[in-house]
Chains A and B, each alone.
Chain A
Amino acid sequence: MLQVRNLVKVFNKGTVNESILFDGLGMDIQEGDFITIIGSNGAGKSSFLNLVAGTLSSDEGAITLKGKDITKLWEFQRTKLFGRVFQNPTLGTSPSMTVLENLSMAYNKGKKFNLSLGVSKDNIPFFIDLLSQLSLGLEDKLHTEVGLLSGGQRQALSLLMATMSNPQLLLLDEHTAALDPKTSKTIIELTEAIVLKKKITTLMVTHNLNQAISLGNRLLMFHRGKVVLDIKGEEKKSLTIEKLLGYFEEIQSKEAISDAMLFSNF
């Protein structure tokens, strides 16, 4: 469904600070996959999402979505097909507008934004129904400015808004990292429910290994711009934290060995 071929991304190209993040990354994502992505800081998880979403432009390589080359498309052209939730809860909603106004905008995604009224009264029962499923009390706050909501409420709203128009691909960039454990759990449950119900192909970056293991049908571990671990299917179901940590240490020790070899030359 989503194919990434020979993706190259170099930061600060041509300067002394040049750093190559991806050097020929390739990936195939199937329709309906729910993929969790883990990796240490600087591994390229978020950059990968940014490259797919078009926030960053790639230096080489091709990204195709359902056979359509999207590499050259602007971010706003790609986002027509994508839904995205960010780590920062303030990025998904418009703070000075009300919950109802925000939802109405998301509902209209993919349709024309013309001079007809922004809020359609007919949609209000539908929105109330959606919000009450969150059990965060948002259904009583339709006319509250989003800026007055808590981070968890905003993130739940962002998630609703990102998935409302049934995107072909959902990108979740550590979307629970800024929340307290309890709210984080609520949002994760909500994520799973929505993704499974709407069968949206999803890429989820997380630092929480429990989440990475329990959610989805495929797990990718990034390390220094490469996919070092790709676990799917039955193997993914039987995965435990101990196994995952084992893999992780194996990768780390390989590096330690190569470092040792490097230094042994001196």
Chain B
Amino acid sequence: MTSFWLSILEQGLIFAIMSLGVYITYKILDFPDLSVDGSFPLGAAVTATLLVMGINPFLACLLSMFAGMISGGITGLLHVKLKITNLLSGILVMIGLYSINLRIMGRANIPLFTQETIFSNSLPPVLIVAIFVFVAKLLLDLFFKTKLGFLLRATGDNPQMVTSLGIDIGMMKIMGLMLSNGLVALSGSMMAQYQRFSDVGMGTGMIIMGLAAIILGEALLKRFSFVTATSMALFGTILYRTTIASALRLGLPPSDLKLITSIIVITALGINGKKLPFNLNLKSLIKIGGVHNVTGAKSSKSFQ
């Protein structure tokens, strides 16, 4: 039983890195990047191929990240230079990546039974994964506090203002997509090493899972002003994985997984923003400072 929940936590943390990537595009850039479904298995494919060649697993992680950044860059170029809509740019890259991933691996899947991975040492896997997540989250939080990070945030918020600052928003979008897909590919790389195989189909539905995690995390944690957005994405991913695991435990067949994901996203989107009674309870549980109440935008109706 413990090992079951531990594996949920480990997987949740690995997927959390992907959610951080999705968070950059979906939340910050306001760019629904569907190429995530392709760049996740891209990371896995690159890693599997490199590990079979006997490359150091940490180096493989790094190279997978670069591969993801290139794929994100291509999505960005399609959108910015060729003026293809953001949704279609992502889909085109996603479809293209399917063939590319097959070419990289040479076949549909590669098992990694004997190869050395990032988990081939005495440290418990959960610790290794947690360190990766922690570092990624910390670096991302720091990045958003830099001048360049400010520009990235403003680009999704108000592109006109970024243009007014004399900055090319196209470059900002490409940079954001590269950063995002780099993280997604890193997540794919870790997943391949964790489950000890890479499969060309392992990316299906990744974007929806990332969205589900972000929306869930936000729906539950938005009211706590001290929780950073990246933490929401992290927490949301783990919560989402737990929900899925519980559903499976309750006896639903694994083939229903994708349907459950859709339903979770639909439910979360449906209730998000609506005033639910449990929201109020949650709020009253925690005393937030006076400034929060004074500057809060909620109307008096929400307290009735």
Contact = CB atoms under 8 A, between A and B. Distances in A.
A92 B154 contact: no
A112 B165 CA distance: 11
Interface string A110-149: 1011111111000000000000000000000100100110
A80 interface: yes
B154 A118 contact: no
Q: How many residues of B sit at the interface, in one of the four size bands?
A: 20 to 34
A144 B147 contact: no
B150 interface: yes
A1 B160 CA distance: 26
B157 A95 contact: yes
A110 B165 CA distance: 8
A84 interface: yes
Which secondary structure dominates where chain B touches chain A?
A: helix
> Which one of B153, B158, B164 has the greatest number of beta carbons of chain A within 10 Å?
B164
A86 B160 CA distance: 10
A154 to B, nearest CB: 11
A247 interface: no
B168 A76 contact: yes
B161 interface: yes
Contacts of A93: 158, 161
B149 interface: yes
A247 B158 CA distance: 40
A148 B295 contact: yes
A251 B104 CA distance: 72
A76 B166 contact: yes
Contacts of A80: 166
B216 to A, nearest CB: 20
Contacts of B158: 90-91, 93-95
Contacts of B145: 117-119
Interface residues of A, number: 39
A94 to B, nearest CB: 4
B167 interface: yes
Interface string B283-304: 0000000000001010000000
A162 B146 CA distance: 21
Nearest to B161: A94
Contacts of B151: 105, 113
Contact of A118 (B147, B157, B297): B147
Contacts of B161: 91-94
B297 A148 contact: yes
> Which one of B158, B167, B297 has the greatest number of beta carbons of chain A within 10 Å?
B158
B143 interface: yes
Interface in B116-170: 143, 145-151, 153-154, 157-158, 160-161, 163-169
Contact of A75 (B148, B149, B150, B163): B163
Given A76-B163, A105-B165, A113-B151, A94 B146 contact: no
Contact of A79 (B157, B164, B297): B164
Interface of A: 74-77, 79-84, 86, 90-97, 101, 104-106, 108-110, 112-119, 141, 144, 147-148, 162
18 contacts: A76-B163, A76-B166, A76-B169, A79-B164, A80-B166, A82-B164, A91-B160, A92-B164, A93-B158, A93-B161, A96-B153, A105-B150, A105-B151, A105-B154, A108-B165, A113-B150, A116-B147, A117-B147
